[in-house]
């Protein structure tokens, strides 16, 4: 049970945590993977290599310590993390392993400063947080399993279709090997997919946004091939190069707290690169529903060769009250309609956007979304009408 003394002690350690920074979480992960290497089959080791996961965990620990006496502030972050955990099939017994290595990390880094009182406080604080996640995730697992087409744990699916959408993006359609239905999802959510890349030591689990409307029979994701260092594209390159129609993969049920929210408001979808995948799911869903309110779709990419779903989106203007614009970083073709050259500048289309009443959904690289959010705020869009999805460890901005 977390006491007031525990709370005061945890908050008193915040300066120590801040001074140590990500050294704490880097030490934690190194320790945990040394003693429990089986967890390398669960965690995204690419994010370990790039430092994104240690940084995200440090931010989460610091936020929890800061708001430990007012956890309602963290409700959104907790739900976001819980959804991500379910896509990895995180189980209750794994929290004890994580807690053990967290406490031992603090002991090893703080030395004599890690007093019995601090250990007791952080042990109680961690257990409180673990119990919250275990309950929420348990409820999510049960809710998914109880739905039509739902299931718990990983389920085997077959690749029914593999289709190139652009120079870098390929779509994969999955059907369950058992022939049953699949649970519906909210447009904007993602799938957890587990594969074992060729000549790779560990299983790899990744999350990819569903890229079309729910149909109860199959799922589709659209994956960008990550270029450059192999560590940043182990799974995407494996899917592109090695997974073919007829092959099997393991999937978790759809998850994610970023999704279209049905409101009687205009909708503005803003994406860059492969960030268009959840936007495409939203558009397809609204089309299937016969949505009549105005929809604005703004997309940025490098060039026409990397513009996925361009013809599909143009065709949706026949069924939706849809206005769409594209920004091409490397320059727009002559006489192209609704196409701008360079970076996305909302001022170029601001006069037609529902700035005072619309809901704005953003997805793409973090730098792009920060750039767009700043523009939206400067144009008078309220922060509570701006929703965004970050691929990988979450970042607030």
Residues with a known catalytic role: 95, 137
- CB-based contacts of 292: which residues, under 8 Å, 6+ apart? 321
Whether residue 325 is annotated as binding a ligand: the answer is no
Whether residue 209 is annotated as binding a ligand: the answer is yes
> What is the C-alpha separation between 210 and 249, in angstroms, rounded?
16
Q: What angle do CA 95, 133, 75 make, to 5 degrees?
A: 145
> What is the C-alpha separation between 358 and 58, in angstroms, rounded?
34
**Which tokens go with 194?**
């587990």
- CB-based contacts of 261: which residues, under 8 Å, 6+ apart? 359, 387
Whether residue 222 is annotated as binding a ligand: the answer is no
- DSSP secondary-structure letter at 151? -
Whether residue 275 is annotated as binding a ligand: the answer is yes
> What is the C-alpha separation between 280 and 189, in angstroms, rounded?
12
DSSP secondary structure string for all residues of 120-139 = HHHHHHHHHHHHHHHHHHHH
**Which tokens go with 285?**
């869903």
Tell me the CA distances in angstroms from 133 to 85, 136, 141, 189, 339, one per residue in order. Answer: 9, 5, 12, 19, 45
- DSSP secondary-structure letter at 219? E
Whether residue 198 is annotated as binding a ligand: the answer is no
230 phi/psi in degrees, rounded to 5: -60, -35
Whether residue 390 is annotated as binding a ligand: the answer is yes
How do beta strands 359-363 and 386-389 pair?
Answer: parallel
**Which tokens go with 155?**
């389920």
> What is the C-alpha separation between 292 and 216, in angstroms, rounded?
24
Whether residue 278 is annotated as binding a ligand: the answer is yes
> What is the C-alpha separation between 259 and 330, in angstroms, rounded?
31
Whether residue 361 is annotated as binding a ligand: the answer is no
Whether residue 273 is annotated as binding a ligand: the answer is yes
Whether residue 393 is annotated as binding a ligand: the answer is yes
> What is the C-alpha separation between 60 and 66, in angstroms, rounded?
10
Whether residue 315 is annotated as binding a ligand: the answer is no
Q: What angle do CA 127, 131, 134 make, to 5 degrees?
A: 135
Largest distance between two CA atoms of the chain: 72
Whether residue 43 is annotated as binding a ligand: the answer is no
Whether residue 277 is annotated as binding a ligand: the answer is yes
Annotated binding site for NADP(+): 273-278
The annotation places the binding site for FAD at 190, 206-209, 390-393
Binding site for heme b: what residues are annotated?
A: 85
Residue numbers in the known binding site are 85, 190, 206-209, 273-278, 390-393
């Amino acid at each position: 049970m977390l006491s007031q003394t525990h709370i005061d002690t945890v908050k008193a350690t915040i300066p120590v945590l801040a001074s140590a920074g990500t050294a704490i979480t880097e030490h934690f992960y190194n320790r945990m993977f040394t003693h429990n290497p089986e967890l390398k089959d669960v965690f995204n080791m690419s994010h370990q290599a790039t430092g994104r996961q240690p940084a995200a965990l440090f931010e989460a620990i610091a936020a929890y310590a800061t708001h430990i006496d007012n956890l309602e502030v963290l409700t959104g972050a907790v739900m976001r993390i819980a959804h991500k955990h379910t896509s990895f099939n995180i189980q209750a017994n794994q929290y004890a392993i994580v807690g053990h290595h967290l406490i031992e990390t603090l002991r090893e880094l703080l030395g004599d400063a890690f007093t019995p009182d601090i250990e007791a406080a952080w042990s109680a604080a961690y257990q409180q947080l673990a119990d919250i996640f275990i309950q929420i995730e348990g409820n999510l697992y049960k809710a998914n399993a109880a739905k039509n087409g739902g299931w718990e744990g990983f389920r085997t699916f077959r690749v029914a279709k593999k289709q190139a959408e652009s120079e870098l993006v390929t779509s994969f359609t999955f059907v369950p090997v058992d022939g049953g239905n699949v649970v519906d999802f909210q447009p904007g959510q993602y799938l957890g997919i587990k594969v074992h890349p060729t000549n790779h030591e560990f299983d790899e689990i990744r999350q990819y946004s569903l890229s079309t409307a729910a149909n109860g029979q199959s799922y589709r994701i659209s994956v960008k091939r990550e270029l450059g260092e192999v560590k940043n594209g182990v799974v995407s390159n494996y899917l592109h190069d090695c997974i073919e129609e007829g092959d099997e993969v393991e999937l978790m049920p759809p998850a994610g707290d970023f999704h279209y929210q049905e409101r009687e408001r205009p909708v503005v979808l803003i994406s860059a690169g492969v960030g268009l995948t959840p936007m495409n799911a939203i558009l397809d869903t609204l089309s299937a529903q016969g949505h009549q309110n105005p929809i604005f779709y703004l997309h940025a990419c490098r060039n026409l060769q990397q513009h996925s779903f361009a013809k599909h989106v143009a065709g949706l203007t026949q069924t939706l009250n849809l206005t769409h614009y594209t920004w091409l970083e490397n320059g727009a073709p002559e006489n192209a309609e609704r196409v701008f050259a360079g970076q996305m500048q909302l001022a170029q289309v601001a006069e037609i956007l529902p700035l005072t009443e619309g809901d704005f959904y953003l997805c793409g690289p973090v730098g792009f979304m920060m750039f767009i959010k700043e523009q939206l705020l400067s144009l008078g869009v309220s922060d509570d009408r701006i929703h965004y999805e970050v691929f990988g460890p979450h970042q607030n901005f």
